[in-house]
């Protein structure tokens, strides 16, 4: 099996490469290798390598910046997805596209099923929803949330830095979702592809937390393995106390029942993923 992975230098792209099935022929494309917002370049690249699967791990993820750069976000999150979908159809390949919990408005107060009505409240969510439509019904679309890994820029690494530098950290406590370890997501994507899944599916790690809960857990687990030398107060604050250009869903837990049935069981709890990530950071820097 030959698979093209876009966004190969990102958290998810690296994880997809690291756990690719034995014997897979992986074409790992960074932005320098392939600008997915270039229609002709996408068509030529896919025609040259003729993959069986295209895992689109590339995305415009600067949620706040998207409010003033919606056209730029749309070029990556929607237009590029259409180009990849067209190229996949031309080469009889399957597109596996990663989307987000931000397609929902967060007002439901209970986990969102894949068929729940969408209502994005910001530019990032709007462009990601447009990307789902562009991917088409024959693609595998997997919505996820709060992804982090041992490399790259993410909430865990930011918290580790701030907890080492500051005497306290203040973290939003009224936004609820599910932290998701990138290798867990990558494993689910490979498994769903192998199962022949198509259409919209939800995947995150199990459980739910606020950003405050997540920060408290990061400090507890990091102290336990000596990754942090001291504890600092973690202060819960309201979203209103930390204004940002983009609005965020207040509750965006995803219902993974159908996905877990396909995978043969539930995902690991998010705290298990956090422990794995912190151990990776301690062992490898």
User: DSSP label at 77?
Assistant: I
d(CA 87, CA 84): 5
d(CA 122, CA 97): 20
Q: Are the C-beta atoms of 140 and 93 separated by less than 8 Å?
A: no
- Name the active-site residue from 60, 112, 124, 212: 124
In which region does residue 116 sit, left (phi positive, over 0), alpha (psi from -120 to 50) or beta (all else)?
beta
Of 164, 153, 270, 152, which Cα lies nearest the Cα of 226?
A: 164
Q: Tell me whether residue 124 is one of the annotated catalytic residues.
A: yes
* DSSP-derived secondary structure for 191-204: HHHHTT--EEEE--
d(CA 26, CA 43): 18
Q: Which residues are catalytic?
A: 124
């Amino acid at each position: 099996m030959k698979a093209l992975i876009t966004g190969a230098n990102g958290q998810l792209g690296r994880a997809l490469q690291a756990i690719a099935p034995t014997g897979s022929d992986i074409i790992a494309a960074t932005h320098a290798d392939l600008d997915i917002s270039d229609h002709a370049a996408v068509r030529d690249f896919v025609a040259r390598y003729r993959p069986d699967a295209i895992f689109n791990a590339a995305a415009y993820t600067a949620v706040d910046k998207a409010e003033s750069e919606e056209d730029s976000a749309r070029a990556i999150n929607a237009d590029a997805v259409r180009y990849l979908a067209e190229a996949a159809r031309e080469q009889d390949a399957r597109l596996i596209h990663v989307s987000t919990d931000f397609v929902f408005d967060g007002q439901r107060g209970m986990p969102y099923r894949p068929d729940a009505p969408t209502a994005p409240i910001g530019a990032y969510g709007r462009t990601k929803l447009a990307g789902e439509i562009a991917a088409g019904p024959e693609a595998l679309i997997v919505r996820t949330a709060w992804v982090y890994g041992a490399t790259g820029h993410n909430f865990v690494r930011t918290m580790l830095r701030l907890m080492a530098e500051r005497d306290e950290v203040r973290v939003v406590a009224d936004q609820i979702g599910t932290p998701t370890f990138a290798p867990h997501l990558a494993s689910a994507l490979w498994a769903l592809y192998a199962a022949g899944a198509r259409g919209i599916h939800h995947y995150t790690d199990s459980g739910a937390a606020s950003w405050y809960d997540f920060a408290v857990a990061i400090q507890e687990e990091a102290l336990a393995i000596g990754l942090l030398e001291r504890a600092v107060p973690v202060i819960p604050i309201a979203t209103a106390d930390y204004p940002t250009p983009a609005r965020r869903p207040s509750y965006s837990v995803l219902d993974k029942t159908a996905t877990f049935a396909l995978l043969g069981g539930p995902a690991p709890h998010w705290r298990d993923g956090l422990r794995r990530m912190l151990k990776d950071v301690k062992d490898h820097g």
